[in-house]
A = this chain, B = another copy of it.
Amino acid sequence: MELTERQKEIIEKAVELIAESSVQNLTIKNLANAIGFSEPALYRHFESKKEILATIIRSFENTMNGIHEEIEHRNLTGIDKLDAFFAMRFRYFTENPDWAAVLMCEANFKLDSELTGMMLDMMKHHRMFVRSCLQQALDHHQIRNDLAFDHIFVMTVGALRLLVTRWTLENHQFDLVEEGKSLIQSLRILLKS
């Protein structure tokens, strides 16, 4: 799981290439050219193209785990936890916009059923975390209880997801962190009990 500097450089460039258009743009040749060495050199650092994609998923998972840990350290509950989580996510995406473009679109990993599985697992983790926060918020009467739980979930996550998608399609022309904060504020107003 420890990556060498060269490996980090490779997956960074790979993410760049995928973000530029799509996974169809990630070829060994393109990737090697982007880094500035020959195709076979790539195979000194990764077994296969699939392994590169798998590493991208694992790296992102690692980052998200880091965010989760930091969140747990802060002893927040319910809606404040969720708030902090999304704020940190937006900050990460702002610093790594290509990663946002690549990972918001699961189609990029449909090359292989194993990769698709990894992607679904990650999404499940994310979903469970958000749901637990929302459940906690409900339990603490931080949010209204006249709505189906699933609807609250889908509105919250759907709105925030779409914000990121728009930010990507509009070439990062607005401040995701600020807009995100503001959107979460609106969600809090709507959902408060």
Contact = CB atoms under 8 A, between A and B. Distances in A.
Interface of A: 21-25, 105, 107-108, 110-111, 120, 123, 146-148, 151, 154-155, 157-163, 166, 169, 182-183, 186-187, 189-191
Contacts of A169: 120, 123
A158 B184 CA distance: 13
Contacts of A108: 107
A164 B146 CA distance: 23
Looking at chain A's contact residues, is the secondary structure mostly helix, strand, loop, or mixed? helix
A23 B111 CA distance: 10
A189 to B, nearest CB: 7
26 contacts: A21-B110, A22-B110, A23-B107, A25-B110, A105-B105, A105-B107, A146-B189, A147-B189, A147-B190, A148-B182, A151-B183, A151-B186, A154-B159, A154-B162, A154-B183, A155-B158, A155-B187, A157-B158, A158-B158, A158-B160, A158-B162, A158-B163, A161-B161, A162-B162, A190-B190, A190-B191
